[in-house]
Amino acid sequence: MSEKSTPMMQQYRRIRREVPEDTILFFRMGDFYEMFFDDAKVAAEILDITLTKRQGMPMCGVPHHASEMYLSKLIRAGQKVAICEQMEDPATAKGIVRRDITRVVTPGTILEDHVLDSKRNNYLAGIVRKDGVIGMAFIDLSTGTFWLEQTDSVSVLRDNFARYEPSECILPEEQQERVQKEGLFLPGQAGVITAYEDWTFDHDFAEDTLLRQFKVHSLDGFGCTGMSEGIRAAGAVLHYVAQQLRRPLDHVTSLKVKRAEDFMLLDESTVANLDLVEPASGRRVPGVATTLLGVLDTTKTAMGGRLLREWLLRPLVTLEGIRQRHDAVEDWTQRRK
């Protein structure tokens, strides 16, 4: 019996068919994660590890104890990785060891602290478009931040993507070609683009996904009444991340609604030229604040740093919102006295 037709390789092929072609499969074998065929070729080049062959079959592997380092390198290179674990002890297993995919790691769903910038959100975005109306949703799984927006302006979409820099964006499979042809995003704005099943963007399914997540009977309390496209995007995003993580999203407890008219419009060139969060020159000087954020950021926590960054990139323009923020600051100031 050849290596390719052994029970283990039959199991590998069965599990590999469950994973999209653009996703590398980490297949646990003892103390290593092994990769085979095209997965091995791609991973070996990115990770700079040895690519070997067994009976003509390309393969490579990484040690289990150091897997997070290799995983983060693949994610930074824009890859997606499915983790297949041994679900029973090989010493006591009868026959082939049972294996299963425990999670899929993508640029927008990675949770490892050493990969993420503690003071920057790692957003996964979703978009859907119908009759000129664009629905957007953004989620940061490391914090549970989740919000949606709806607009008929392509410039608002582009400004949001320039401002929040999602590491991954999902959109309906049927719209992928049209979105790219129409140039909804500027090059590099959307991170890794993932075409996702069309049915997850169905309004009724998306709404039901959100209702079940938040254990409510209506979304009216979230302020998204009439925002059909935003709801479609948000429901699909929530379904996607739940499928990748393979576990409940208990820390995602609320859904916010953002409206473009509530904020000052700062386009990409304005943000760059004002040195708000990144120096226009692209050069950073160690120990010297070269941006407005660098001057102002004396926050003590990662959450505070992320919030300050967002406030700078999307200043309020409504009097009510500004007053509420000032009142909150005053309240905290008074408490310290």
CATH code of 300's domain:
1.10.1420.10
63 and 186 fall within a common domain: no
72 and 201 together in one domain: no
Q: Residue 190: what pLDDT? A: 66
Output the domain CATH number for residue 167.
3.30.420.110
Which of 261, 294, 309 is at the close of a domain?
261
Among 75, 105, 135, residue at a domain's last position? 105
Residue 80 lies in a domain: yes
Q: Is the separation of the CB atoms in 137 and 108 below 8 Å?
A: no
pLDDT (tens digit per residue) in 126-177:
999 999 899 999 999 988 899 999 999 888 888 888 888 899 999 999 988 8
Query: Measured between alpha carbons, how far is 197 from 21 in angstroms, rounded to an integer?
Result: 15
- The predicted structure's pLDDT at residue 142: 86
Same domain, 253 and 284: no
Question: So what's the pLDDT on residue 1?
Answer: 38
Q: Are residues 207 and 280 in the same domain?
A: no
| Beta-strand pair 168-172/23-29 | unpaired
28 and 7 assigned to the same domain:
yes
**Angstrom distance (rounded) from CA 208 to CA 211:** 5
Same domain, 172 and 276: no
Q: What is the dihedral of CA 130, 135, 113, 106, to 10 degrees?
A: -10
Buried-state track 297-311, b at ≥16 Cβ within 10 A, e below 16: beeeebeebbbbbee
- Rounded distance, CA 167 to CA 117, Å? 12
d(CA 191, CA 78): 8
User: Is residue 178, in this structure, part of any structural domain at all?
Assistant: yes
Sequence-ordered list of residues with C-beta below 8 angstroms from that of 212, at least 6 positions apart, any chain: none
Last residue within a domain, chosen from 261, 296, 311: 261
CATH of the domain at 15: 3.40.1170.10
Q: Is 36 part of any domain?
A: yes
Neighbours of 51 (CB within 10 A): 14
How much is the pTM? 0.84
Alpha helix stretches (DSSP H) within the chain? 7-16, 37-47, 67-76, 154-164, 173-182, 203-214, 228-245, 268-273, 292-296, 302-313, 319-336
Instruction: Say whether both 9 and 76 belong to one domain.
Output: yes
What is the pLDDT, as a whole number, of residue 156?
87
Domain match, 253 and 276 both = no
Sign of CA dihedral 246, 206, 152, 177: positive
What is the C-alpha separation between 263 and 240, in angstroms, rounded?
A: 29
Q: Phi and psi dihedrals of 251, rounded to 5?
A: -85, -5
| Residues 234 and 242 sit within 8 Å (Cβ to Cβ) | no
Please identify every stretch of the chain with a pLDDT value under 50, giving residue numbers as ranges.
1-3
Domain that holds residue 172: 124-261
For residue 57, what is the DSSP state? E
Q: With respect to residue 74, please indicate whether it lies within any of the assigned structural domains.
A: yes
How far does Cα 199 stand from its chain's mean position? 20
**Does 112 fall in a domain?**
no
Residues 277 and 238 grouped into a single domain = no
Please tell me the distance from the alpha carbon of residue 268 to that of residue 180, in angstroms, as a whole number.
Answer: 20
Residue 136 lies in a domain: yes
Q: DSSP code of 307?
A: H
Whether 191 and 172 share a structural domain: yes
- Asked if 179 and 137 sit in the same domain, the reply is yes
Please report whether residue 110 resides in a domain: no
Same domain, 248 and 276: no
Note whether residue 46 is domain-resident.
Answer: yes
Q: In whole angstroms, give the CA distance from residue 108 to residue 244.
A: 10
pLDDT at 105: 92
Q: What is the count of structural domains for the chain?
A: 3
